[in-house]
Amino acid sequence: MNQEKTLLNQLERILPLVEKPGRYVGGEYNSVVKNWEEVSTKIALVFPDIYDIGLSNLGLQILYENINQRKDCLAERAYSPWQDMEDLLRQNKIPLYSLESKSPLKDFDMIGFTLPYETLYTNTLNLLNLSQIPIRTENRGKELPLIIAGGHATYNPEPMAPFIDAFLIGEGEEILLEVIDAYQKWKKDDLSKNELLLNISSIDGVYVPSFYDPQYNPDGTFLNMKVENKSVPKKVTKRIMGKLPYAPTRFIVPSIGVVHNRIAVEIMRGCTRGCRFCHAGMINRPIRERTVQEIIQTIEIGLENTGFEEVALLSLSSSDYTNVLELVEEISNKFAGKNLTISLPSLRIDSFSVGLMEKLKGSRQGGFTLAPEAASERMRKIINKPISEEMLLTTAFEIFKRGWHTIKLYFMIGHPSETLEDVAEIAALCKKVLAVGLKAIGRRAKVHAGVSTFVPKPHTPFQWVACDQQESIRQKQNLLREELKGPGLKFNWTDPKETVMEAWLSRGDRRLAEVIETAWKNGAKFDAWQDFKNYDIWMHAFSDANLDPDFYVHRERNIDEIFPWDHIYPGVKKTYLKTEYLNSLSLRLRSDCREQCYACGITQTFNHLRKEDPGIVWKCPNLSPRKSKNELSIPN
Amino acid sequence: MWERTFRRAKLPLAYSQGFHPQPKIQQASPLPLGFLSDYEIVDFFLEQEMDILPLEAALNNSLPSGISVNSIIKINLVEPALQTQTIASEYHILFLEEFDSNKIIESIQDLKSKKTVIRSRRGKSYDLRPLILDLEIIMEDSCYLKMLLKSKDGATGRPEEVLSELNIPVEFTRIIRKKIILAYEVQNNN
C-alpha cells in the first residue's frame, strides 16, 4: 500500500512533464482491476511498443479477457514508455509498472510478451531492463517472474532464446491457461525453477530454449539442435484451437487518442491461397471460420460494451470467408442508421469485392485497397498470386465508378529472380489503373502505390531465398520513383536499411542474441519505427559478435540445409515448402488448396482435434484412405 | 469520451444535421490536461424527454472510473449556450512539496499590487492581471492557494500562468477546479 502511495506521488510529479501522460495512467473503461490479495496468480501482459500502438492488439485483448475470467488469476498490462517517460522513470529509479494497479512488473508471477514481428526485440530487452529484471534467463532465479512470449515472430524463437524462459507457439487461448495451471501446481510444491521449466515443456506447444543446444557447422550453417533431456520433445508443434473460441467483446476503451478506436472481430483464421512469400498464410493453417451469427452477436455486444463506432472484420483473405455476402448483408441490415464504419480489408481483386464494400456503406474517404503484389506474369507465377491484369483493371473501373477517388495498390519488390523489367511493369500497371480512373471519373482519380520490399521468412517456401541486395533495391525504387512521378500518382517505399534489419532477425539463429543485446545496450530501440537511425548501431553489434549480416540476409540457402527453426513445427511440412519453392523456380502455379489438397501436412498433424470433435469445419478435405493428389515438381 | 459514454448508456443523444453529424454535447469550459475537478458542467441534448433519476443512473453506469455525475437539471431550450454563460472558475492549488508560506504571501501581495501583468501564451501577448478576480493563500489544517479566474471566450485565466508569476513550479502542485461560475449565479448573488 505504502509502495503504491509513493509511486503515485512520484507519478504525479513526472506526468506533467511528458508527452501524452494518458499513456501511463490506466483507468480505461473495461480495464479490469482486481484485488491482489484475493488472487493467487498475477500475469503481466506486455506489448513491446508504445501504448498508442499496443492498446488495440487483438491477441492481448483475447488473453486479457481469458485470464481475467478466472477467479484465481488476474492480468494487467504494460507497454513501452516513450523516451521522455523512460528517462524520468530511470532518473527517479521507478521500476516499470502495470497500468491497472501500478504494480512493478517484477512483482508479477509471470510476464507475457507478445511478439508479432521481429523489430520489437530490442524494445523487449529494454522493457525487462526497465522492470529491473535481468534480461537473460540464466541470471533469473525463481523469485523473479517467469518470462514467456508468444506471437508470429516466435515461430523462429532462436534469436530471443537466451532471454525468454518459455515460448508459447501458436494460438494462445488454451496453452496459456495450461501454463498457469502448471505454474500454480509448481508454486504449491515449492520446487526449483528448472523443475517449473521441465513441467511446462511437457505442455504441447511450449518451447523451453534452455533445454536445447544449437550446434553449427564450420561454415556457420546450422547443424542440429542437441537435446540432452530425454523428456523434452525434439520438435515443438504449434497449438491451435480446433474451433474458434468466443471472441472478445470487452475491448478496452482508451481515454486518449490512439491509433485504432474500434472493435476487431476475427471472422476466420488461416488461409488456403498458398502465396509463397506469406508467413501468416503458412503458419495459421487450417482455415477455421466463425458463423455469421457469432460475428453479428460479437459486434452487437462489443458495441454495447464500448460505445465505439468502428468495426474491423479481420482475416487473411476476407473474400474466402464462405458466407461473406450473407455476413455483409446482415451487417448492413442490422446496423443501418447507426453511423457505423465497418472495415473489411484483405478482399480479393474482383468486382464481387467492390459490391461487398458498397454494401457496407462506408465512407469512400480512405481509398480502396488492392494487393496485386506483382505486375508481371512471371513474378505472379513465382509468388503464386495469379491476378490477371484484365481483372485488376476491370475491378479498378468498378471501384472508381462507384464513388471511390483513390485506389491504393500494394506491391512487393526484391525477389532475387526479379528483373528491372518486372519492376517497370509495376509502374506501367499503376499508370494503366490511373488511366482507367481518368476515364471513369476524370482528374479526381488517384493511385497510391505502396511498394514494400520482400523479406524471406522462415516456414515459407521462400525460406531458401536470398534477400535482394540494398543497391539493387535502391535501383528498383529509383526506377519506380521516376516512373511514378506526376499528377494523381503517389509512391510509398521502405528504406532498404529497414528491410535488412527485419531480414537478419527473421532468419536468425541463436548467435544473433548477442547482436540484439549489444545493439540494445548501445541504444537501439523502437526498431519498428522506420527511423533507421539504429542501422549503424546494429552493424557495429554484428562486427562485435564476429558475425556477418550478409550470411543471414543475402545468402541463398542450400536446398538440403537444416534451419535453426526446423524444430518448431507449424503443421506444414518442410517437404511441402520445399516442393513449393521448387515450383516457384519452374514458374508453376498452384491453386487454392480448397480446390485441390496438396497435403501440406496440417490435417495429419491435427488429426486428433478433428477426431475429438467431428463437428469441426475446416476447409481441408475429409481424410480418406486414398491419399490426395500431390504433384511434385522438379526443375530441369 | 462523452459520446462513447452516451452510446454505452443507450441514451438518445441528439446529433447536429449535415454531412458530419456532431453529438450535441457542450462543455462549460474544457478542463486542461492534468487538472482534477470537483465541479464540471456539461450541457447535452436528447432526442426525447427523460426522467432525471434513470438518466443519472444510466450515465453513472457507463462512465469510466474517476468521473461521476453529481446532479442533472433540465433546462429550457431557449437558455443561452453554456459557454456564453460561463464567467469564472475557482481553483484550489495544493502543494506536493514543502514550501515557504511567507514567500508565497509576499509573491501574492506583489502580484495583486500590479496594475498589469503582460505575459505571452502561444505566441500572443496578453494581460493576466484583469483575469485574476481573486487570489489568496488559505492556511487551515491544510494549506492551499485559492484562485478565482475569469473564464470567458478569449479571456481565460489559467492557473499555471498565475503559478508561474508566483514562481511556483507546476510539478510541485495539484490543481483542482472547485467550481465553475455561471452568469445567472452572479446575478442571483447581486
CB-CB neighbors (< 8 A) of B169 in chain A:
none
Q: Which domains does chain A have, with CATH numbers?
A: 2-237 (3.40.50.280), 262-360 (3.30.750.210), 588-636 (no CATH)
What secondary structure does DSSP assign to A498-566, as a single string? HHHHHHHHHT--TTHHHHHHHHHHTT---GGGS--TTHHHHHHHHHHTT--HHHHHTPPPPTTPPPTTT
Q: Which residue type does A134 have? A: P
Name the band, by pLDDT with cuts 50, 70 and 90, for residue A493. Answer: very high
CA A560 to the chain's CA centroid: 28
CA atoms within 13 A on the CB side of A308: 29
pLDDT at position A626 is 41
**Number of domains composing chain B:** 1
- Residue A106, phi then psi, degrees to nearest 5: -70, -10
Classify residue B19: in a domain, yes or no: no
Q: Which of A488, A463, A476, A526 is nearest to A84 (CA)?
A: A526
CB-CB neighbors (< 8 A) of A304 in chain B:
8, 10
CB-CB neighbors (< 8 A) of A27 in chain B:
64-66
Residue A185's SS3 state is helix
Q: Are A549 and A504 in contact (CB under 8 A)?
A: yes
DSSP secondary structure code for residue A626 in this structure = S
Looking at per-residue pLDDT, the higher value among A374 and B187 belongs to A374
Determine the residue of chain A that is closest to B32 in CA distance. A16
Average pLDDT over every residue of B154-177: 92
Q: Which residue type does A188 have? A: K
Residue A635 has pLDDT above 80, yes or no: no
Name the band, by pLDDT with cuts 50, 70 and 90, for residue A636. Answer: very low
pLDDT at position A362 is 66
Cβ-defined contact of A27 to B65 (cutoff 8 Å)? yes
pLDDT at position A89 is 97
Interhelix angle A496-506/A535-544, rounded to 10 degrees, is 40
Average pLDDT over every residue of A338-361: 84
Closest Cα in chain A, distance from residue B8 (Å):
5
Closest Cα in chain A, distance from residue B155 (Å):
24
In order of A77, A109, A193, B45, B188, the CA distances from A143 in angstroms are 21, 9, 9, 56, 65
Interhelix angle A172-189/A193-201, rounded to 10 degrees, is 150
Question: Mean pLDDT for chain B?
Answer: 91
pLDDT at position A231 is 94
What CATH number did the domain enclosing B148 receive?
Answer: 3.30.70
Classify residue B138: in a domain, yes or no: yes
Per the structure block, which three cell numbers stand in for A519? Answer: 545493439
Cβ-defined contact of B174 to A17 (cutoff 8 Å)? no
Chain A interface with B: residues with Cβ < 8 Å: 9, 12-17, 21, 27-29, 253, 255, 303-309, 339
Average pLDDT over every residue of A205-232: 96
**CA–CA gap between residue A166 and residue A206 (Å, rounded):** 7
Place of cell 516466435: A154
Q: Are strands A341-343 and A310-314 parallel, antiparallel or unpaired?
A: parallel
Residue B186 has pLDDT above 70, yes or no: no
Closest Cα in chain B, distance from residue A59 (Å):
23
Residue A625 has pLDDT above 80, yes or no: no
CB-CB neighbors (< 8 A) of A14 in chain B:
171
Classify residue B105: in a domain, yes or no: yes
Average pLDDT over every residue of A213-222: 96
CB-CB neighbors (< 8 A) of A305 in chain B:
8
Determine the residue of chain A that is closest to B64 in CA distance. A29
Question: Mean pLDDT for chain A?
Answer: 93
DSSP secondary structure code for residue A15 in this structure = G
Among residues of chain B, what percentage have pLDDT more than 70? 97
pLDDT tens sequence across A387-440: 999 999 999 999 999 889 999 999 999 999 999 999 999 999 999 999 999 999
Q: Which residue type does A123 have? A: N
Average pLDDT over every residue of B159-171: 93
Determine the residue of chain A that is closest to B15 in CA distance. A339
pLDDT tens sequence across B10-48: 999 999 988 788 899 999 988 988 899 999 999 999 999
Three-state secondary structure readout of A263-297: EEEECEECCCCCCCCCHHHHHCCCCEECCHHHHHH
CB-CB neighbors (< 8 A) of B170 in chain A:
16
Q: b vs e for B150-174, b when ≥16 Cβ sit within 10 Å of the residue's Cβ?
A: bbbeeebbbbbbbbebbebebebbb
What is the CA angle A422-A366-A440, rounded to 5?
A: 65
Q: Are A252 and A31 in contact (CB under 8 A)?
A: yes
Closest Cα in chain A, distance from residue B162 (Å):
17
**CA–CA gap between residue B55 and residue B89 (Å, rounded):** 27
Interhelix angle A324-334/A351-359, rounded to 10 degrees, is 20
What is the CA angle A498-A503-A507, rounded to 5?
A: 160
Place of cell 529494454: A126
Determine the residue of chain B that is closest to A262 in CA distance. B4
Average pLDDT over every residue of A465-481: 96
Residue B90 has pLDDT above 70, yes or no: yes
Residue A634 has pLDDT above 50, yes or no: no
Per the structure block, which three cell numbers stand in for A278? Answer: 506469406
CB-CB neighbors (< 8 A) of A303 in chain B:
7
DSSP secondary structure code for residue A467 in this structure = P
Name the band, by pLDDT with cuts 50, 70 and 90, for residue A361. Answer: low
Closest Cα in chain A, distance from residue B136 (Å):
24
pLDDT at position A454 is 96
- Chains A and B form CB pairs within 8 A to the count of 44
Non-local (6+) Cβ contacts of A573 within 8 A are: A600, A601
Looking at per-residue pLDDT, the higher value among A365 and A286 belongs to A286
pLDDT at position A363 is 63
CB-CB neighbors (< 8 A) of B65 in chain A:
27, 29
In order of A68, A169, A331, B38, the CA distances from B61 in angstroms are 21, 39, 28, 19
**CA–CA gap between residue B20 and residue B12 (Å, rounded):** 18
Classify residue B108: in a domain, yes or no: yes
Determine the residue of chain B that is closest to A261 in CA distance. B4
DSSP secondary structure code for residue A188 in this structure = H
Place of cell 481573486: B134
Residue B100 has pLDDT above 50, yes or no: yes
A 10 A CB-CB count for B82 gives 17
Is the whole model's pTM more than 0.80, yes or no?
Answer: yes
Residue A395's SS3 state is helix
Residue A583 has pLDDT above 60, yes or no: yes
Classify residue B51: in a domain, yes or no: no
**CA–CA gap between residue A102 and residue B16 (Å, rounded):** 41
Residue A632 has pLDDT above 50, yes or no: no
Q: Is the peptide bond before A286 cis (omega within 30 degrees of 0)?
A: yes
pLDDT at position A628 is 41
H or E element that contains A237: strand A236-237
pLDDT tens sequence across A250-268: 999 999 988 888 999 999 9
Cβ-defined contact of B8 to A339 (cutoff 8 Å)? no
Classify residue B33: in a domain, yes or no: no
Determine the residue of chain B that is closest to A305 in CA distance. B8
Per the structure block, which three cell numbers stand in for A70? Answer: 478466472
Strand spans (E) along chain B: 25-27, 36-37, 42-44, 86-95, 118-121, 124-127, 132-139, 143-152, 155-156, 173-182
Residue A35 has pLDDT above 90, yes or no: yes
Residue A474 has pLDDT above 60, yes or no: yes
What secondary structure does DSSP assign to A88-115, as a single string? HHHHTTPPPB-TTT--BGGGSSEEEEE-
In order of A383, B75, B79, the CA distances from B183 in angstroms are 71, 15, 12
**CA–CA gap between residue A598 and residue A604 (Å, rounded):** 12
Closest Cα in chain B, distance from residue A103 (Å):
18
Non-local (6+) Cβ contacts of B19 within 8 A are: none
Domain limits for position B137: 83-189
**CA–CA gap between residue A26 and residue A446 (Å, rounded):** 41
